[in-house]
Amino acid sequence: MDYSAGVHSDRLVDMRDLVVLVHASKTGSSSARSLFLDAALRNSSRAPWVCVLGRDDPQSKTERACAGADVAIGPRGPWGDGDVRRAPTRSQRGIRMLTTLREPISRLISEYAYFCLNCGDYRKYCGKFVRTGCGTARRPTFTQWVARAPNQYTRHFAAHWPPQTWFRNSARGFPNATAINERSVTRAYETLSSASALVLWTEDMASDGPRQLSKLREWLGADTNVAAALRNVSAFPRANSRRRNRNYNISQTQRRAACAANWADCALYELLRGRSCAC
């Protein structure tokens, strides 16, 4: 199964590829999710073009559960962190991937502050699902946090993650995963740079919303219901903004350590953006 499978020019109109929003933690994925849900509510409480799966809906049945929809959105939880890749055939709908990414070191700082210092998202990393020491006197330092599960972009998009396995593995530091290498970076780059994938960058969503929304509508297809529903939207909604989070600033030593541990993600970022990590 492969995100990079292209759109077949001879596919029937009713077999248009299904766009799946793949969640990447602390990159603006919640904002993208809200974008589609808000548009659905504005246009119709039962907008047929968006398919919202429940927490217990298996990913393996995404295509059948979302037959007729333009966009599939998982619940807040493990579904959105998993993998729904499958190569299309002439008789099957293909999968296109929409995801959000962020400069890697900025994402790590935000992740540490939100999940560890502030125990956000229902104390996910503060004992609710994973025991990391966050929320206790044995709370890990930023450098320890970064070292526990580095290079998440590369790991996420270079390999296939069966349903429900991404969160379990990333939360525990990928205990049984194979080592990543330069080939892993290449595979992740091929996935994310494919015509069947679109990456929205957190920084651009905040600073250049109208242009990013225009790019999104064009990629979705100008004649689709979802693009029409987003036609009058000029900004991405703010998500997870109610909670007052403790800010966190890292030292230059911590920054260098984060860059060294996340060498693959920094290499991937440079390939995708033509920019270096904030080291």
Tokens of 160: 């296939």
| For range 131-149, the mean pLDDT | 94
| 2 occurs within a structural domain | no
Query: Looking at residue 54, what is its pLDDT?
Result: 65
Query: Looking at residue 34, what is its pLDDT?
Result: 92
| 5 occurs within a structural domain | no
Tokens of 59: 């990913």
| Three-state SS at 252 | helix
Query: Looking at residue 53, what is its pLDDT?
Result: 73
| 278 occurs within a structural domain | no
| 112 occurs within a structural domain | yes
| 6 occurs within a structural domain | no
| 159 occurs within a structural domain | yes
| 231 occurs within a structural domain | yes
Query: Looking at residue 56, what is its pLDDT?
Result: 58
Report yes or no: 66 and 18 within 8 Å, Cβ to Cβ. yes
DSSP for 153-219? Answer: HHHHHHS---TT-HHHHHHTT-TTPPPP-HHHHHHHHHHHTSTTEEEEEHHHHHH-HHHHHHHHHHH
Whole domain around residue 143: which residue ranges?
A: 13-273
Residue 159 scores a pLDDT above 70: yes
Summarised one tens digit per residue, pLDDT across range 16-73 is 788 888 888 999 999 999 999 898 888 765 678 888 876 555 555 666 777 778 888 8
Report yes or no: 180 and 154 within 8 Å, Cβ to Cβ. yes
User: Exposed, middle or buried by CB within 10 Å (0-12, 13-18, 19+), for 90?
Assistant: exposed
Residue 86 scores a pLDDT above 70: no
Domains identified in the chain, total number: 1
CATH number of the domain to which 64 belongs: 3.40.50.300
- Say which residues have a Cβ less than 8 Å from residue 232's Cβ, sequence separation at least 6: none
| 269 occurs within a structural domain | yes
Distance CA 44, CA 36 (A): 12
DSSP for 13-37? Answer: GGGPPEEEEEP-TTTTHHHHHHHHH
